[in-house]
Amino acid sequence: MIERYTLPEMGRVWSEAHKYELWARVETLVVEAHAAAGTIPESAVEPVRKAAPPTPEAVAAIEAVTQHDVIAFLSAWADNTEPREAATYVHFGMTSSDLLDTALALQLTEATDLLLEKADKLVGVLRDHALAHRATLRVGRTHGIHGEPDVWGHRVADFAFGVARSRDRLRRAREAVGVVAISGAVGTYSNIDPAIETFVAAKLGMTAADVSTQVILRDGVSEWVSALAIMATVLEAIALEVRHGQRTEVRELWEPFGKGQKGSSAMPHKKNPIISERLAGLARIVRAQVVPVMEGIPLWHERDISHSSTERIALPDASIAVDYMLNLTIRLMSGLVVDPDRMRHNLDSTGGLVYSSTVLLELVEMGLERDTQAYPLTQRASMKTWETGRPFRETLREEAATAGLAIDEARLDEATRPERFVQRLDGMFEKLAKLS
């Protein structure tokens, strides 16, 4: 992922330097486990424990010759070990995938913890914003067309629960990737005791794989990146709502626009929804990682490395992008400008047509037959309002008089109060208030 979208903490998780720190940590735990079991001399533990992880430059120099990253790492780390003979017992009984998959599990769980912390914060921001706007009337839309009265808090509440579910989904996926495998070549423990794997897993606070061949089956990693893709797409849904609300014809919502900010190099009047559009673009990047990672589930026999090159790109890119997106969405919703007056103006802009379904039901309850009287009457009045721009109540009264049908004006007044449409949302807002 390019630097522009990489925040420092998440960038460090996926840095080469940190990767080698984790590799050294895993290898050290294996040495400690072997020493405790009496497999290797106890004297080897402290020198290995004290040896500084090699720099990326040192590993790269050796890998240019060996064409094998793990061997290059082990050689560079041995150069930092005093006495060097202690490094003889590093990687004892292991195969490369033992190190790679276990260290990757550490990176994935570290990345997930950063994401969960931000997801928690965003849930709180969305919850509080929705509760603050539980009475802010606006028109609800379907297909982009005005439907019925609603409140802005209702729309945001949907996003709050969606992000909360995405967070919980990611938390479950953390368990799926927090798996250790130290089982040797083709996963048969031929040169290493299963107790070593159990020891390392316990020290890392993870679980040992139920079974591994030479690699851990990639269904867990696929679940994790799929959870990220769902999270990213929920964030895009929030962004899409803001993008629509900021359109000139709508003007109900505005992204935060800082002092000195410029909207266009050519048109000084512009205030563009750049945050929301950036979120939409990055969501595509995250979704694009799902299929390549999933294709790492079927490998040849006990192991090949066709998944490796994919994961080196896809896993950092997906988590770095979602980290940035969460940060951006928190900023978006914390500074979002809501225009209640404009929302009410838009609600009233169709002259009352948003009450047509309620009027239809009221007419039926007044005794009109639905198909032959109430529906035709309501539809004729609605079409006349569309064509002339006159208020729906006027055209309804005219059409009723023309048809010789009696309607109760007082009942229709009560039925078409916009507040009436949202009074049953109280239970939802009570549930929202408890969301954490």
Q: Are 156 and 126 in contact (CB under 8 A)?
A: yes
Look at residue 1 in the predicted model and tell me its pLDDT.
86
Instruction: Return the number of other C-beta atoms located less than 10 Å from residue 225's C-beta.
Output: 28
Q: Are 81 and 27 in contact (CB under 8 A)?
A: no
Q: Phi and psi for 281 in degrees, rounded to 5? A: -65, -40
Q: Name the token pair of 109.
A: 């769980």
- Within 13 A of 209's CA, how many CA atoms are on the CB side? 24
Which stretches of the chain drop beneath a pLDDT of 70?
Answer: 258-270
Residue 353 Ramachandran class (φ > 0 left, ψ -120 to 50 alpha, else beta) = alpha
Look at residue 324 in the predicted model and tell me its pLDDT.
98
Give the CA distances from residue 328 to residues 121, 200, 232, 427, in Å, rounded to whole numbers and listed in that order.
Answer: 12, 37, 11, 30
Look at residue 262 in the predicted model and tell me its pLDDT.
62
Q: Which of 143, 265, 269, 301 is catalytic?
A: 143
1-92 fold: Fumarase C; Chain B, domain 1 (1.10.275)
Q: CA triplet 136, 138, 143: central angle to 5 degrees?
A: 145
Dihedral of CA 63/66/67/70: which sign? negative
Task: Give the right CATH number for 96-344 from 3.10.450.30, 1.10.10.920, 1.20.200.10, 3.90.380.10.
Answer: 1.20.200.10
Q: Are 325 and 235 in contact (CB under 8 A)?
A: yes
Three-state DSSP at 258 gives coil
Q: CA triplet 229, 233, 235: central angle to 5 degrees?
A: 120
The answer to whether 143 is a known catalytic residue is: yes
Cα 22 to the chain's mean position, in Å? Answer: 26
Q: Are 198 and 208 in contact (CB under 8 A)?
A: yes
pLDDT digits (tens, 9 = 90+) for 215-225: 999 999 999 99
Look at residue 105 in the predicted model and tell me its pLDDT.
97
pLDDT digits (tens, 9 = 90+) for 380-423: 999 999 999 999 999 999 999 999 988 888 888 888 888 887 88
Look at residue 415 in the predicted model and tell me its pLDDT.
81
Give the CA distances from residue 308 to residues 150, 250, 270, in Å, rounded to whole numbers and listed in that order.
Answer: 49, 48, 45
The answer to whether 18 is a known catalytic residue is: no
Q: Which of 264, 306, 349, 357 is catalytic?
A: 264
Q: Name the token pair of 249.
A: 């014809």
Domain ranges for the chain, please list them: 1-92, 96-344, 353-415
Could you tell me whether strands 179-180 and 207-208 are parallel, antiparallel, or unpaired per DSSP bridges?
A: parallel
